[in-house]
Structure 1
Amino acid sequence: MSTAGALWSAPSRIAGRATRGGKDALQRARASLAPLGELWVRVVWPVIAPAYRAAGRMLAVATGFGWGLVVATVLSWILGQVFGWHEFTAIAAVGLAVLVLAVPFVLGRSAYTVELGLAKSRVVVGELAVGSVEVRNASTRALLPARIELPVGRGLASFHLPRLAVGTSHEDLFTIPTQRRTVLSVGPVRSVRGDALGLFRRTVDWNDAVDLFVHPRTVRLDGSSSGFLRDLEGMPTKDLSNDDVSFHALREYVPGDDRRNVHWRSTARTGRIMVRQFEETRRSHLAIALSRNPGDYADAEEFELAVSVCGSLGLQALKEDKQITVLAQDQTVPAATGKRLLDGLAGIEQRDSRADIVQLARHTGNAVPNASVVILLFGSVVEATRIRSAASHVPRGVRVIAVNCHSGAVLSRRSIATTTVLTVGDLTELPIGMSRVSE
């Protein structure tokens, strides 16, 4: 080997030996620590684990105010000892006494049986939801007074729970005002124990939360106002069939035709066997496209009006046993029953999206190509050009009704090409508006 090669290979051999030596040392260190790890897992941890968990629970009950008092007490003690300031030492002593006196308020266990009930789990916007909380002492001793908390959505209701003897119970009634359409999570009911100063707080959940559905307002579309739904039947397509209900024409018999479709009077007149040919008809299927894009509405009030119109039209279609599909951008609202429809509309919210009424109409045409009528719901800021563009994305032969939800506007009806545009300013005017559409 050359001198240069020896100079290059020597450092490599030295580095290799150093690396192997380091790995060997690491393995020896791990082997020496293994017995200590086994001793910790099998002997030490089982002994200290209960104390560790208890300490964790105690630390969890301290509030922000409590931790602030602990820090102030410690700092005061340090300042008093380092600088000899007796005032700070006295402050530390008072803080320690307050902390010690607050501890007994969170000690001990409570045994409650809690029942949370709602008179109705579904209400309409503006109605009061009524419920009750019943707490029973399920222990073998009397329980001290406590506080009961009931989360309601983002709010919180609080009740005072008096001293309960063994086997006794206490019931509180509550009401929930419903100012807006939503799905509220009510519960879980929790008991709260703590000191009067709020240094420590110990909570225990006693049941699961329940949902309260606040449905949108709706109106009935009985009589002539629902005529547009009855007009869905019999809308023809260009597809011909031999076994549908819409008569189209007569043609000459070919082998394989159903003899039940033979038209005997024409056969006798022409001297050739003639059979009926039918035209396929669209099934009565209503598609409602509700825009959730804030850019299609002037304000939140218009969106709420659109949701109410959607619920009213959907309930009427279900009442008349029509097939219905409700779309809201990328969301499909369950509409198998009226309850499921209103439950879905209760939780629907506006969402910033690039998909406006035009993209929504395109999606509806692709998702429900067999619809008989497509109803587009949007706000007052949608221009006529966008309405025309949206209607152009619906398959040919499908009737398009555009409902402009403009709060406070005068009820009116107009046409943009073949699209009927209905402007609704108040939900109570919807039945009259739909009767004009069906004319």
Structure 2
Amino acid sequence: MLTRTGAAVGISTVALLAAGILAGYPELVMIGLAGVVALVVAALWMLLRPQIGAVREIRPHRVTEGNPARAVLTVKNTGTRRSPPLVVTETVADQRVTVPLPSLAAGASHETTYPLPTGRRGRYSIPALMVGHSDPLRLMYVGSPCSGGSVLYVHPRIHHVVPVALGGPRDMEGPTSSRSPQGGIAFHSLRDYQPGDDWRLIDWKSTARTGSLVVRHNVIPDEPQHLIVLDTSSEPYSGSSFEDAVRVAASLCSAASQAAFPIDLRLTAEDALPSGDSELGALDLLAGAEPGPADPGLSTLADLLNDVLAGSDGTVLAVVTGRASSRDIDILSSLGQRFLTVSLVQISERPTAAPRGVIAVNASTSDRFAALWNQLVPQ
């Protein structure tokens, strides 16, 4: 394909030939013919397409916004003749990255690294890189996809905040269930001995009664689940407040996870994917979160939390939004008694008054939120 320079040469060539023939100026015709020769030579050069193999690796696949990430590119000349200088083109976060490569002898390889743009949070699908070459005059360019696509997660920045500690004190002999993780000191049930069980857990009275080895099944007591809801509708936000709201949600998820509380992150978008119960899953989900005008927002909060409301386990709820509407406040107020604690974070210059019994934090930025939250929530 023609480059911009090649297209300009082609147009100029046609114009010069036409002007020279019509006006009877052989000099213009000669210049036009020189352009024809240059284009023909460039086309013949393109036929000598090098045989190149390339492998790209993203290191790391997950970073926090502003932290460095790079691509490691290994290129090998699999042909029998020396390859010309090449150009590798990447498109990341709508930014075009061009990497020049040197000429390679037959069988030789070259490794290079180059930075990827990570200044803005996002989930970036990086298509297969394009490896191409051009003629010496840069009149034509031929590129072909090489290697596969990749995904780069740029996570939101996280502030150090304390988890909500108002969901009840931690009880080492607290409530347990069959889904509780093993390895604690809280007794849940008796079960048959399995190879590898600690002999100190054998219940000798039950063993004597049943005639087979029986052990105590100890688990870690159930802890209050921390449920974080991020409003992803566009109406409550202005300016860059949505980015601050995402950082707030990420900070709450990280704080609960670091304190070993189960977490559950949910977005109000109807097509939002589940985050799983891990901090990494939550951050991956937040990396791709975007506000949408068709998003129902907090108006469907009851439906969004229907499975949680139907359960019997204790849950700590935190809702993050921009400026909550009066309807949002009414919905939150009606649901407040169903949770151990309810927090409402509004990233807005003009927040709406929160209902009674709700931990309310109103801040204009995520930095301000972190400072207010750590003052309000006991450590």
- Alignment TM-score, normalising by the size of structure 2: 0.72
| Residues 80-139 of structure 1, C-alpha deviations (whole Å, 9 max, x = no match) | 445545455334323212212322331213122212123311111121113321212222
Alignment pair present for 1:136 and 2:76: yes
Matched, 1:382 2:321: no
Aligned mates of 2:321, 2:346 — CA distance in 1: 6
Show the counterpart of 1:242: none
Indicate yes or no: 2:316 matched with 1:373.
Answer: yes
CA distance in 2, matches of 1:299, 1:232: 40
* Distance (whole Å) between structure 1 residues aligned to residue 18 and residue 366 of structure 2: 70
**How far apart, in 1, do the equivalents of 2:49 and 2:38 lie?**
22
Residue of structure 2 equivalent to 1:394: 335
1:311 aligns with 2:243: no
Matching of residues 70-149 of structure 1 within 5 Å: 70-82=10-22, 84-86=24-26, 88-149=28-89
Partner of 1:168: 108
The one of 334, 339, 345 equivalent to 2:280 is 339
Unaligned runs of 5+ residues in structure 2 are 176-221
Tell me the CA shift for residue 339 of structure 1: 1.5
Decide whether aligned partners of structure 1 residues 79 and 393 sit closer, same or farther in structure 2, where only a CA change above 3 A counts.
farther
Which amino acid counterpart does residue 135 of structure 2 have in structure 1?
D
- Other structure's SS at 1:394 match: helix
Mark the structure with the bigger radius of gyration: 1
Unmatched 5+ residue regions in structure 1? 1-60, 236-281
Quote the residue 1:416 is aligned against. 355
Partner Cα distance (2:100, 2:295) in 1:
50
Q: Which amino acid aligns with 2:317?
A: V
Give the Cα separation in 1 of the matches to 2:142 and 2:157: 41
Task: Please say if residues 287 and 368 of structure 1, whose CA atoms lie closer than 8 Å, have aligned partners that are also in contact.
Answer: no
Residues 259-284 of structure 1: CA deviation (Å, up to 9, x unaligned)? xxxxxxxxxxxxxxxxxxxxxxx994
Counterpart secondary structure, 2:13: helix
Give 3-state SS (helix, strand or coil) of 2:138's partner.
Answer: coil
**Stretch deviating more after TM superposition (145-154 or 85-94):** 85-94
Q: Deviations over 1:346-367 (max 9, x none)?
A: 111121236343x142443445
- Residues of 2 paired with 1:139 and 1:164: CA distance? 10
SS at match of 1:227: coil
Equivalent residue pairs, number: 324
The answer to whether the Cα contact below 8 Å between 1:142 and 1:166 also exists between their aligned partners in 2 is yes
Identity %: 23
Structure 1 Cα separation of the partners of residues 251 and 280 of structure 2 = 12
Look up the SS of the partner of 1:109 in the other structure.
coil
Q: Distance in 2 between matches of 1:429 and 1:325?
A: 19
Deviation at 1:196, TM superposition (A): 4.4
* Alpha-carbon separation, structure 2, partners of 1:78 and 1:126: 55
Equivalent AA in structure 1 for residue 283 of structure 2: L
Structure 2 equivalent of residue 217 of structure 1: 157
Q: 1:283 to 1:360 in 2, by over 3 A?
A: farther
Determine if contact 2:269/2:295 at 8 Å carries over to the other structure. no
Residue in 1 that maps onto 2:207: none
What CA distance in whole angstroms lies between the structure 1 residues aligned with 2:261 and 2:360? 25
Q: Which has the higher contact order (CA 8 A, sep 6+)?
A: 2
In 2, Cα distance between equivalents of 1:356 and 1:165: 59
Cα separation, 2, equivalents of 1:105 and 1:297: 55
| Mapped contact 2:264–2:275 kept (Cα < 8 A) | no
Query: Does the Cα contact within 8 Å between 1:232 and 1:373 map onto a contact in 2?
Result: no
The alignment partner of 1:128 has SS state of coil
Cα distance, 1:144 vs structure 2: 2.2
2:309 partner SS: coil
Structure 1 position 340, deviation (Å):
1.6
Q: Displacement of 1:402 after TM fit?
A: 0.9
Q: Judging changes above 3 Å, is the alpha-carbon distance between structure 1 residues 177 and 144 closer, same or farther for their aligned structure 2 residues?
A: closer
**Would the alpha carbon gap of residues 167 and 229 (structure 1) be closer, same or farther in structure 2, given more than 3 Å must change?**
farther
Judge conservation of contact 1:377–1:403 (CA < 8 Å) in 2: yes
The one-letter amino acid paired with 2:105 is A
For 2:118 and 2:129, locate their aligned partners in 1 and report how far apart those are by CA, in whole Å. 20
Cα contact 2:225–2:261 (8 A) shared by 1: no
The one-letter code sitting in structure 2 at the alignment partner of 1:218 is I
Q: Helix, strand or coil: the match of 1:390?
A: helix
2:120 aligns with: 180
SS in 1 for 2:116: strand
Task: Give the SS at the match of 1:204.
Answer: strand
Q: Alpha-carbon deviations, 1:153-193, whole Å to 9, x = none?
A: 32222222222122222222212342221123345332221
Task: Say if 1:310 and 1:423 are closer, same or farther in 2 by CA, change over 3 A.
Answer: same
C-alpha distance in 1 between matches for 2:90 and 2:43: 25
- After TM superposition, the score normalised by the length of structure 1 is 0.63
8 Å CA contact 2:333–2:355 kept in 1: the answer is: no
Partner deviation per Cα, 1:299-344 (whole Å, 9 max, x = no partner) = 21x2222112212222344452425241233224423322221111
Name the amino acid aligned to 2:250.
G
Structure 1 residue 210 displacement after superposition: 1.3
Counterpart CA distance in 2 for 1:65 and 1:145 is 18
